[in-house]
Structure 1
Amino acid sequence: MSQVTEVTTQASCCDDEFDPALLTVDAALERISATVTPITDIEVVPLRAALSRVLGQDLHSPVDVPNHTNSAMDGYALRFDDLGADRLTVIGTAWAGKAFTGVAATGQCVRIMTGAIMPEGTDTVVMQEQVERNGDTIRVAAGQKRGQHIRRAGEDLAQGSAALHTGQTLMPADLGLVASLGIGELPVLRKPRVAFFSNGDELRSIGEPLELGEVYDSNRYTLHGMLSRLGVAFNDLGVVPDDRDLIRDIFLRAANMADVVITSAGASVGDADYVKDVLGEIGEVRFWKIAMKPGRPLSFGRIGKTFFFGLPGNPVSVMVTFYQFV
């Protein structure tokens, strides 16, 4: 878990002085929560593509599970009231996937395999380890119970009951459950769309030569990794230099394609940091700094219906603020 510290004392001489007007971490989180609205758009995807997606609607079982009353053991299906007899006659076998089509009368039983449908006329299964067979007759050990070793139709899920619920993140076991119902597609919430970029004249992409004072942009690769693990859809818009018009254009482009825009760097108070000014022109800034180190220069707002997170330029601060707030 990320460790963050709220600033409560005078900073060292190497840092800006503490501003008591800065938002606390809790207040910033509350402001974000009050602003953000959940995604409600639903799309239908193949079952195999639904892993880790969020279910968009309750899923009701179209069938009983199990769909027939069946045996939970390999053994013998019989009528419990016949257990007083010395021996019972075996009249056939019930297999999983191949039901016994006859009817067990008084004094008769059916050899049955796990998962096989209970034959008509039977109500109890005796596991084979408690049976002594001699030819076509069996003798059953004492101590049996009526209805034992049977799985009733609808015991796990009754037809029409909710199998999975809206808002549930789908795990591998959920996909298996859905497949057992004969369902091949699921309604899920669409993935959040994220656009991100880094800002700064000093930043260069990997593969470009470095001049004096320039550094390679590592934050976009960190963001790429964190967003990949979240399973969202995202676009990397690259490095944007400190140019007001370019920053404005990229913000408008990003807001047009995404639910969330994330930037790194460009959120301080330097003469060439235009992000705050541009956001004030085209959107709304909800807060600009927070009482936390690392991560003080964190900003949050919106551009139309798109939410904006301005992360610091420091690589550690990027990770801390992403996990704590984004």
Structure 2
Amino acid sequence: MATQQTIARRLRISQATVSRSLRNDPSIRSETRARVLELASQLGYVPGPVVQSATRGAGREAPATHLGVLVQDDARGSGGATVVNLLSGMSAAAQQLNVSLNVHHVAPSDRTALLQADRQPPAMRGGLIRGLVLLRRFDAAVASALARQMPCVSLIYDYRPALVDFVSSDEIADVASLVRHLHDLGHRRIALVGADRSLTWARQRWLGYIAGLADLGIAYDPALVEQIDSDTAEATRACVERLLDRGPTAIVAAGDALGYRCVRLLREMGRTDGPLVVGYDGIEPPEGMSQITTIRVNFREMGAAAIRLLLERISSSLLPARAVHIGGQLIVGTSPRPT
């Protein structure tokens, strides 16, 4: 099996230079790094762990690996609880893996400016940051440019074919399980209220809905699918009213917040007999409302997976862009009808 010593001997350089080249150390000349990466690929070199708990023989902790977390600032709004849980998972993994996290909120107006050195967070500008976690949606061109500067992992949004690893919930399998649950309850006309399918998560949940129907031998009916482009009560009402004319007995809402708006609207319309509404995310119900059936997403594990994936990416840039999907848990609601 090829080792760093093997590569060092073949190229007649030090093992330390090989190690730094494989970790994308900016102090290594690009020509040297290219030679190391090419030979490592030819020899089938498999990288070891990025960090160790202690310096061998010294009894002291190794220096922490510094990672940056860029949070798109819109996440401070309705998705705040999601962000907190993702950061909690990242923090737990960082503590176990001797990693120091530098969290920086990015205003929408500053997302493109991140590519300018003088507009970057100090730790990133100073070369301390070894890799980045991108939390929430950034422009694809910005994500791709950042990935050319240093290893990157994205949470929730998929920027491939850019070399950005991707961590999300297993939305296709999760939503398919919601459809199966509704089928087990006797529903056959199952509708979907989704969001803009140019968004990664919205498209994945739509695909999960289609997959769930296909698994059950139910034909996909576009008339039972509505796309809502606004979080307003007016947009929700228009969407639900169109669906009700088509006779669904159950509605899969692309997110819990949307699901609870649908339940509230059906209640206001006097539709206490249905249709049944299920959601996705696992957020706490609004005050005065009972829990709807949903998929509880394991955001903490997603955050932890992002840190592990980023350390692997730092260890070897030879890896192709990868996707990790974390399965959620079906939570059966306490109030299946809009009462």
Instruction: Provide the TM-score with structure 1 as the length reference.
Output: 0.30
Larger proportion of strand: 1
Larger proportion of helix: 2
